[in-house]
Amino acid sequence: MTHFPKPILTPASYGPGRLVSLGHLVRNAVFGTLLCTGPVTALVALGWLTRRSGHVARSRFGAAEEAPGWLLGPRETGGRPSSRTARYLGGLAANIRSGLLALVALLAWTLPFSLLWLGAWWAGWENSFNKGYEQAFVGPSVFLLGALVAALILPALPLMLSHLAAEDRLSAAFELRRLRSLIAQSGWRVPALALLVAGFALPFAGARGLITTATDWAPWIEDLTPDQLAALKSRITLALALLAFATAWIIRALATRIYATAAPLAAGLKPGLWDGAQAAEAAMPARARSRLMTAVWYGSAMAITLGLAFLILAGQFLDHAWWRWIFHPALTLPWAG
């Protein structure tokens, strides 16, 4: 009979107190917000979020390690004190590396439908604007195809990122059999997470509408000097960056909790499939989930994702920037745009 060690589901005992934790929260929020004001620096924020997700998951699996930093690296490497360079810049280098891994995985998963959406936008809106009405059916058809592909992919995206973070390797993002077993053990949490992602996408669509119609409900904006207008734009960018970072942080945190619960169950049910994975260290006995219920929960998540696709389409009519099809703050890079 296979012995399943009892998983450790609490952080390490040397964790900081509440006041220190609050200080860390504020510090991380400030750093993350500033980094999310631009697309290049947002990669560092994405990397930190990915590393934090992996740290939390591995901690729940029983590993004790230092929490990831923004700039500083670990005090020790391989049982020896880290070099001065690794100590003072190791965290930044690790964040860039993790950000690149996460971004490559995200683009590999999202480009199949986001490129279809981008093509549909050109074939639909841009084609009609140039009076190409005889091909009017192309745009909506391509967009619907992309929406169906997105509905199939997006519900699995948060769990994929959590698995990538826990394993800390790019190939983990494409382990479809493990991902399928994770989805089965997650059950109702998959559509719940999809609903949360769709809810967090709403403020970004609303912000586009407010910005586009600003002169209608705030006519005083037209009287601002160039310096005042630039200051106002900076404040708006900062607010959207805070929203983008907070959105990504909350989604990643909840997805990691779901992953840390589902992965040991999946590893206990199919230990051979999970050999060598971090979750195998905390494997727990589990029963097989009903395929019918798994399909019902995932189908519910797909229906929610279809609504998200049309929300993104509505937002695009308010701001035509092409890159918004590919880099949506609630889905890929946490960039204010």
Q: Could you read off the pLDDT of 122-167 as tens digits, one per residue?
A: 777 656 555 555 566 777 888 899 999 999 999 999 999 999 999 9
Say if residues 268 and 285 touch (Cβ distance below 8 Å): yes
CA distance 81 to 87: 9
**What is the chain's length?**
337
Which residue, chain included where needed, has tokens 């900081």?
A: 16
Confidence band, pLDDT 50/70/90 cuts, at residue 2: very low
Is 10 inside any structural domain?
no
Is 333 inside any structural domain?
no
CA distance 115 to 103: 16
Is 6 inside any structural domain?
no
Q: What are phi and psi of 241, to 5 degrees?
A: -65, -40
Is 287 inside any structural domain?
yes
Mean pLDDT of all residues in 81-91:
80
Say if residues 102 and 50 touch (Cβ distance below 8 Å): yes
Say if residues 310 and 143 touch (Cβ distance below 8 Å): no
Confidence band, pLDDT 50/70/90 cuts, at residue 82: confident
For 210, the domain range is 18-325
Total structural domains within the chain: 1
CA distance 149 to 309: 10
205 has a pLDDT exceeding 70:
yes
Is 221 inside any structural domain?
yes
CA distance 166 to 316: 34
Is 259 inside any structural domain?
yes
Is 192 inside any structural domain?
yes
Say if residues 44 and 99 touch (Cβ distance below 8 Å): yes
Structure tokens at 44: 């560092």
